[in-house]
Chains A and B, each alone.
Chain A
Amino acid sequence: MAPKTTTAAPAIKKAAAAKKAALKGTAAKVTRKVRTNTTFRIPKTLRLARTPKYPRRSVPRTPTLDAHAIIKFPLNTESAMKKIEEDNTLVFITDVRANKRQIKDAVQRLYDVSAVKVNTLIRPDGAKKAYVKLDADVEALEVANRIGFI
Chain B
Amino acid sequence: ASVRAYELRTKSKAELAKDLEDLKTELASLRVKQHSSSSGNQQQQQQQSVPRITTVRKAIARVNTVISQVQRDQLRLFYKGAKYTPLDLRVKKTRAIRRRLTNFEKAQKTVKATKKERHFPQRKYAIKA
**A148 B32 Cβ-Cβ under 8 A:** yes
Count the B residues whose beta carbon is within 8 Å of the partner chain — how many? 25
- Taking CB atoms, residues of chain B closer than 8 Å to A53 are 83-84
- Taking CB atoms, residues of chain A closer than 8 Å to B44 are 77
Give 1 or 0 for each of B21-41: 1 = CB within 8 Å of chain A CB: 000110111011111110000
Q: Confirm or deny: A149 has a beta carbon within 8 angstroms of a beta carbon on chain B.
A: yes
**A148 B29 Cβ-Cβ under 8 A:** yes
- Taking CB atoms, residues of chain B closer than 8 Å to A110 are 25, 28
Option from B34, B75, B84 in Cβ contact (under 8 Å) with A59: B75
How long is the Cα–Cα vector from A148 to B83 in the complex, in angstroms? 55
Option from B31, B34, B35, B84 in Cβ contact (under 8 Å) with A54: B84
How long is the Cα–Cα vector from A68 to B34 in the complex, in angstroms? 16
Q: Confirm or deny: B82 has a beta carbon within 8 angstroms of a beta carbon on chain A.
A: yes
Q: Confirm or deny: A57 has a beta carbon within 8 angstroms of a beta carbon on chain B.
A: yes
**B27 A55 Cβ-Cβ under 8 A:** no
A96 CB → nearest B CB, Å: 16
Main DSSP-derived SS at the A contact region: loop
Count the A residues whose beta carbon is within 8 Å of the partner chain — how many? 20
List residues 79-128 of chain B with CB under 8 A from any CB of chain A: 79, 82-89
Q: Confirm or deny: B72 has a beta carbon within 8 angstroms of a beta carbon on chain A.
A: yes
Contact status of A56 and B36, CB under 8 A, knowing A68-B28, A72-B31: no
Contact status of A148 and B88, CB under 8 A, knowing A59-B71, A68-B28: no
Give 1 or 0 for each of A119-150: 1 = CB within 8 Å of chain B CB: 00000000000000000000000000001110
Closest to A74 in B: B32
List residues 31-81 of chain A with CB under 8 A from any CB of chain B: 53-59, 68, 71-77
A25 CB → nearest B CB, Å: 43
> Most A CB atoms within 10 A — which of B35, B72, B83?
B35
> Most B CB atoms within 10 A — which of A58, A75, A147, A148?
A58
Q: Which residues of B contact A (CB under 8 A)?
A: 24-25, 27-29, 31-37, 44, 71-72, 75, 79, 82-89
Nearest 3 A/B pairs, CB to CB: A54-B84, A58-B86, A68-B24
